């Protein structure tokens, strides 16, 4: 794939968060990043949401009288994953392939798949606003990931064979896994506040500003309370993103999209290793959604900062 796609993953890194950026300019973008599974009407026959696994048009017709009228009020994530997968496949089948468009679509597909692996992207209580736990979204998705990926403790994802990827059903499988984690994540945050009533959050000076961030001690506790599931979830997302790209490329007939001047001596697995490293950067800037709705400037803290730089606060 590296040879076929023309070399290096810099453009994938550059466009990894473009889907988040579009939420500020495109009113249709936000619902593509989530599915509020717990708010969907449930089938009495099997207890599953009535739209589970259905094509978009049929699912939309079944929810047209709910909430604000239509599926978009609950989110569109699984259907949009399938849509972008198909767009990526067809973009590689074209007689005149636009490699930039291929890479933009690949970056978007990776972003949406990454969102699907985040538990709180599957709940109407996405930031704990219904349970008095605001900030929990950034705690799982941003702060915990930055802490886990800090150089002092970062480890590599295990090298495993690529999983199979089905453009329709894999998205539902991922959402089912993620939603099953929601109760654990909410309970862990409650326990975190109980165990760290005074030293869980602290202001840290960065430049001219003070930023409120979880302390390293609290993040270590959080990782334990969530059964050390966050980093494996990140790795699973990385593997599935690679599997989706590979499946789309194969469905397109495994075309060679590289220019003649592009590198020709690297195999797919070397390329995949670079992509996994690139995905680490994606998760480090994965807090754009929270920035849009928060007055705090959330940035990664330096894990080597002395603990005395934290000014502990009572909650």
**pLDDT tens per residue, range 300-312:** 444 443 333 333 3
Residues 6, 262: Cα–Cα separation, whole Å: 5
- Give 293: exposed, middle or buried? Use CB within 10 Å, 0-12, 13-18, 19+: exposed
Answer yes or no: are the C-beta atoms of 227 and 209 closer than 8 Å.
no
| pLDDT for residue 265 is more than 60 | no
Task: Give DSSP secondary structure letters for 71-128.
Answer: GGGT--HHHHHHHHHHHHHHHHHSSS--HHHHHHHHHHHHHHHHHHTSGGGG-S-TTS
| pLDDT for residue 290 is more than 50 | no
Is this prediction's pTM over 0.75?
yes
Average pLDDT rounded to a whole number, residues 173-189: 97
pLDDT at 114: 97
CATH for 2-36+75-312 is: 1.10.575
pLDDT at 121: 98
Residues 172, 175: Cα–Cα separation, whole Å: 5
Residues 278, 264: Cα–Cα separation, whole Å: 21
133 vs 305, residue with greater confidence: 133
pLDDT at 279: 57
Give pLDDT tens digits for 84-98.
999 999 999 978 888
Give pLDDT tens digits for 208-232.
788 888 999 999 999 999 999 999 9
**Element housing 205 (H / E):** strand 201-206
Residues 244, 162: Cα–Cα separation, whole Å: 9
Q: Which residue has the tokens 């979204």?
A: 137
Rounded to the nearest 10°, the torsion over CA 114, 117, 121, 123 is 170
For 209, which DSSP code?
A: E
Q: Give the residue extent of every domain in the chain.
A: 2-36+75-312
- Range of lowest pLDDT (51-55, 173-177, 210-214): 210-214
268 vs 56, residue with greater confidence: 56
pLDDT at 65: 65
| pLDDT for residue 167 is more than 50 | yes
pLDDT at 288: 42
- Torsion angles phi and psi, residue 234, rounded to 5: -60, -45
């Amino acid at each position: 794939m590296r040879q076929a796609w023309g070399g290096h993953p810099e453009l994938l890194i550059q466009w990894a968060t473009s889907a988040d950026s579009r939420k500020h300019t495109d009113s249709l973008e936000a619902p593509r990043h989530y599915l509020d599974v717990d708010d969907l009407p449930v089938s009495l026959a099997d207890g599953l949401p009535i739209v589970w696994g259905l094509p978009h048009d049929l699912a939309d017709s079944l929810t047209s009288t709910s909430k604000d009228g239509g599926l978009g009020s609950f989110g569109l994530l699984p259907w949009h994953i399938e849509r972008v997968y198909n767009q990526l496949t067809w973009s590689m089948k074209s007689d005149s392939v636009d490699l930039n468009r291929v890479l933009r679509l690949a970056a978007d597909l990776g972003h949406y798949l990454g969102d699907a692996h985040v538990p709180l992207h599957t709940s109407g209580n996405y930031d704990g606003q219904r349970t008095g736990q605001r900030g929990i979204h950034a705690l799982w998705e941003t702060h915990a990931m930055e802490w886990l990926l800090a150089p002092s403790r970062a480890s590599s994802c295990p090298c495993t064979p690529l999983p199979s990827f089905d453009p329709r059903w894999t998205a539902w499988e991922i959402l089912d896994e993620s939603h099953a984690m929601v109760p654990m994540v909410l309970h862990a945050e409650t326990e975190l506040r109980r165990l760290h009533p005074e030293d869980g959050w602290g202001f840290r000076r960065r430049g001219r500003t003070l930023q409120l961030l979880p302390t390293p001690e609290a993040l270590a506790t959080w990782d334990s309370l969530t059964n050390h599931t966050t980093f494996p979830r990140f790795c699973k997302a990385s593997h599935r993103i690679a599997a989706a790209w590979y499946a789309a490329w194969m469905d397109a007939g495994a075309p060679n999209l590289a220019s003649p001047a592009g590198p020709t001596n690297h195999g797919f697995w070397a390329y995949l290793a670079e992509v996994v490293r690139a995905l680490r950067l994606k998760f480090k800037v994965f807090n754009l959604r929270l920035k849009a709705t928060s007055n705090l400037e959330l940035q990664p803290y330096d894990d080597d900062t002395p603990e005395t730089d934290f000014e502990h606060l009572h909650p």
